[in-house]
Chains A and B, each alone.
Chain A
Amino acid sequence: MKPRTMSHDSVSSAVPTQAAPVLEVKDLHTQFDTRAGRLPVVNGVGFRLEKGKVLGLVGESGSGKSVTGFSIMGLIDAPGRIASGEVLFQGQDLARMDQRALRSLRGNRMAMIFQDPMATLNPVLRIDVQMLETIRAHSKMGKAEALVHCRQTLARMGIPSPAERLKAYPHQLSGGMRQRVAIAIALLNDPELIIADEPTTALDVTIQAQILSEMQQLVRETGTSMIWISHDLSVVAGLADDIAVMYAGRIVEHGSVDAVLDNPQHPYTQGLIGSLPSANQRQRRLQQISGMAPNLLDLPPGCAFAPRCPRAQPRCAQPPALVPAVDAGVATPHATAQINAAPGTLHTVRCFFPGPAPDLSRSAA
């Protein structure tokens, strides 16, 4: 494979980074060719992920966040394909790799966790079989040694009596336990990158919180980088270092978690934050983003969010580019400090009219 020179994206390297990022996605385009037409599900997505950092990829269903995750893992099947772009994982371009090379990386240097743990584990195979095959696929470890490793990993995930759990079948475990097993499987070969696709959405709120805190600890201990895909900002808020908000296949806002949550610039991000139950005051109707999710076959020529945007202007018929977020006028020392202090992730937004949200307490809806 030709050695690739690390090109620096002009936007994201305002401050030089110390080490090469674990993952660098550049202008990724993933398309699905359906009978109805060609769907640009991932439409020019790019970001960097440093070692030990967590990126929260947030968006509604249909925004392309899951497909981004699958594209990175190389799990896009026909009728979908990666049309263009680069996925640089430790310097190697995954988008151009053949399946065999990708397979040796999957489950090994990079792992994925899915949403529904019941569907993720094969119902007719025992847990130990499903764990062992991951180890055996990537190393020549003996069975006994591998079993010990499995047991230890399960214990690390806080699963009691792991030896018994190994002999069990998926349906004998609770939902939270199954998801812990899935996470354990992801950890077995000490990957550098874990992509978690809505792993807590199917679980109870209490279990959700537990797993979130466990993941946080894990990331700190092992230094694994993570992409946490979710539609729920509040879930991501506590865990992520950076947040990227996706809409209709594009990233519309990207920055450190504090910058994006405290100082959202894109109207969609503001809508997402505003619609969180915690963000709303009592006895007022829940804020909602008006309109419906976009039809990818029928995207408007410019900004995809324009039909639903309270700030839309004629200029929005042009496709906006990602620009650094500037706090025009409203200068909060916190926000400015963020922009200067955070190494690596500049706060960027894809909007012609970025800016803080109007005062919610005065809105009638």
Chain B
Amino acid sequence: MIGWLLRRIGQALLVVLAMTVIVFAGLHAIGNPIDILIGEDLNQQERLEAIAHLGLDKPIVQQYFSFLKNALQGDLGTSFVYNESAIGLILDRMPATLELAFVGMLMAIVLGVPLGLYAGMKPDSPVSKLLVSGSILGFSLPAFWVALMLIMVFSVQLGWMPSSGRGDTRTLFGIEWSFLTLDGLHHLILPAFNLALFKISLVLRLTRAGVREVLPQDFVKFARAKGLSNTRVMCMHVLRNTMIPLVTVLGLELGSTIAYAVVTESIFAWPGAGKLILDSINSLDRPVVVAYLMVVVVIFVTLNLIVDLLYKLLDPRVRLESAQ
């Protein structure tokens, strides 16, 4: 187990390294990195200083290593627009994005799993069929359009929820979170639901498929033959076996949720990292783009690692075999 873990971590580090190479190569392939990273409104003296600081006057391989060194120390350049450390900006905004993604994912699970369970247990009921057709709609709808419609209905027409912005925040562990306040939650609902919609359909379908696969298996029948209550059979036996593959998929989907937050954030004017990256792309604030990419890659790789680990821990067949 430990051996596998170490190997896996090594793989993850390799991927991050590969990403740094890609990003670095990208910088050089597109144009003059001097222009890309330093920007244009510096005078000659500042330019020379910046070039020396970033090591852009040295051979490429050396540049790469100093890039790497700087990255490890947390220095990925300075934003043109904000004139602050690029990575600082990203890390500042990340909690808002993470908050949105997590709440959205939670919504998806809380709504999707029970519905999927029902649809799997009674596949021929009209409600089930409705749910399945609904789920096709759920992941066909373009997220941005749904966001607009949500705003139109719930904000403009009904006036129940605010159409933009993040609510009040409270500090926990030194970071500001908005789900800890009522106003914050009020602002969270619509954008989180927007993110969740796609995932709800996914979770519903996965749970349903999982239940349909597990339900006819012999051990379920055997559990009933033992005289166990229906609740026990569903929870202990059916759900347990369905959840294991589901958890791994959900873990991976969390990563994609964080990425897709870009769209939601831009529509709801949610001050997260996604909105920042979008603005930065449009304003050619390349250092921020680079910083964002690196942070996201690290998040991703870590997430994948955790998901792999989780799967190993949850499924005893996999866990115990790898130990032998």
Contact = CB atoms under 8 A, between A and B. Distances in A.
Complex: A in contact with B (CB within 8 Å)? yes
Interface of A: 73, 75, 103-108, 111-112, 114-116, 119-126, 129, 133-134, 137-138, 169, 171-172, 182, 185
Contact of A169 (B227, B240, B314, B320): B320
Contacts of A126: 316
Interface stretch (B152-160, B197-205, B217-225, B250-258): B217-225
Interface string B211-236: 00000011101111111110010001
Contact of A122 (B219, B225, B314): B219
Contacts of B229: 103, 137
A106 B218 CA distance: 16
Interface residues of B, number: 23
- Closest 5 A/B residue pairs (Cβ): A107-B227, A107-B226, A106-B227, A119-B218, A112-B225
B298 interface: no
B227 A103 contact: yes
Nearest to B314: A124
A73 to B, nearest CB: 6
Nearest to A112: B225
Contacts of A125: 236-237, 240
In the complex, which of the residues A105, A108, A115, A124 has the most CB atoms of chain B within 10 Å of its own CB atom?
Answer: A124
Contacts of A73: 225
A52 B256 CA distance: 62
A111 B244 contact: no
Contact of B244 (A124, A129, A185): A124
A171 B217 CA distance: 16
Contacts of A119: 217-219
B266 interface: no
Contacts of A133: 223, 226, 228, 232, 236
Contacts of B244: 124
Question: For chain B, what secondary structure do more than half of its interface residues adopt (helix, strand, loop), or is it mixed?
Answer: helix
B316 A123 contact: yes
Contacts of B237: 122, 125
A121 B219 contact: yes
Given A125-B236, A137-B232, A114 B227 contact: no
Given A121-B219, A122-B219, A107 B225 contact: yes
B221 A75 contact: yes
Given A114-B218, A124-B240, A137-B232, A75 B224 contact: yes
B46 interface: no
Interface of B: 217-219, 221-229, 232, 236-237, 240-241, 244, 314-317, 320
A138 B227 contact: yes
A129 B237 CA distance: 11
Given A75-B221, A137-B232, A172-B320, A122 B226 contact: no
A103 B217 CA distance: 19
Nearest to B316: A169
A176 B314 CA distance: 26
A107 to B, nearest CB: 3
A124 B241 contact: yes
Contact of A106 (B219, B224, B232, B316): B224
A9 B244 CA distance: 52
Contacts of B218: 114-116, 119-120
A149 to B, nearest CB: 15
6 contacts: A104-B227, A120-B219, A123-B219, A137-B227, A171-B316, A171-B317
Nearest to A188: B226
B228 A137 contact: yes
Contacts of A106: 224-227
